Amino acid sequence: VEHIGHILVSWLPGLNAYKGYCSNQLAAKALLDQKKQDPRVQDFLQRCLESPFSRKLDLWSFLDIPRSRLVKYPLLLKEILRHTPKDHPDVQLLEEAILIIQGVLSDINLKKGESECQYYIDKLEYLDEKQKDPRIEASKVLLCHGELKNKNGHKLYIFLFQDILVLTRPVTRNERHSYQVYRQPIPVQELVLEDLQDGDVRMGGSFRGAFSNSDK
């Protein structure tokens, strides 16, 4: 094959079809983990894993293949371009193809981020209606989330959205995992960041005094 640039430029935009697939992966993984609690499902998946056709890969490994392959395309195309003679007609088309796949991945990551944000918003449980804040429901970006400890050593799970910080406690009822909102969510403009001194960081995600409410 002497020319592939025009094929790639024509074909790559079709990968946008994976936006919906990739954006649903978080919810799909959670559902799969839930179904694995059923001994019958677990037994079936184990037998599949031990069968020759699975190549010792579990179900999630197969479900994650589209995403893992997509992220490799930019590197692959850059390698093709690197080995293409400078005077070859494909050079300009390969450069265009790289921009196309980077745009596709950017759109997929944006959609995936929005879906992840909404997934956790839907998992929040409020003990008091006063805890509800329109900035939570309006959030499109979840900047980070994870387990921390407060000054009393109690484990909390925090969600930092673009405009508000939500402290929660993980709860499980009837095999349904959710996050019970702890105290009042804190708008980011009311947060005070403090530098941590050596020794203040504890293993397991403890950040004592890392943030506080400026109204205290």
HSE, side-chain direction, 13 A CA sphere, residue 214: 8
For residue 139, the Cα-to-chain-centroid distance in whole angstroms is 15
CA distances from 106 to 15, 110, 197 (A): 12, 6, 37
Q: For residues 215 and 40, give the distance between their C-alpha atoms in angstroms, rounded to a whole number.
A: 53
HSE, side-chain direction, 13 A CA sphere, residue 104: 24
Crossing angle of the two packed helices 90-122 and 25-35, in degrees rounded to 10? 50
Which regions of the chain are under pLDDT 70?
196-216
pTM greater than the 0.85 cutoff? no
* Residue 204: per-residue pLDDT: 42
**Domains located in the chain, CATH noted:** 5-122 (1.20.900.10), 125-213 (2.30.29.30)
For residue 101, the Cα-to-chain-centroid distance in whole angstroms is 20
Q: Tens of pLDDT along 100-132?
A: 999 999 999 999 999 999 999 999 999 999 999
Show Cβ contacts of residue 96 under 8 Å, excluding neighbours closer than 6 positions: 5, 9
Show Cβ contacts of residue 114 under 8 Å, excluding neighbours closer than 6 positions: 23, 140, 141
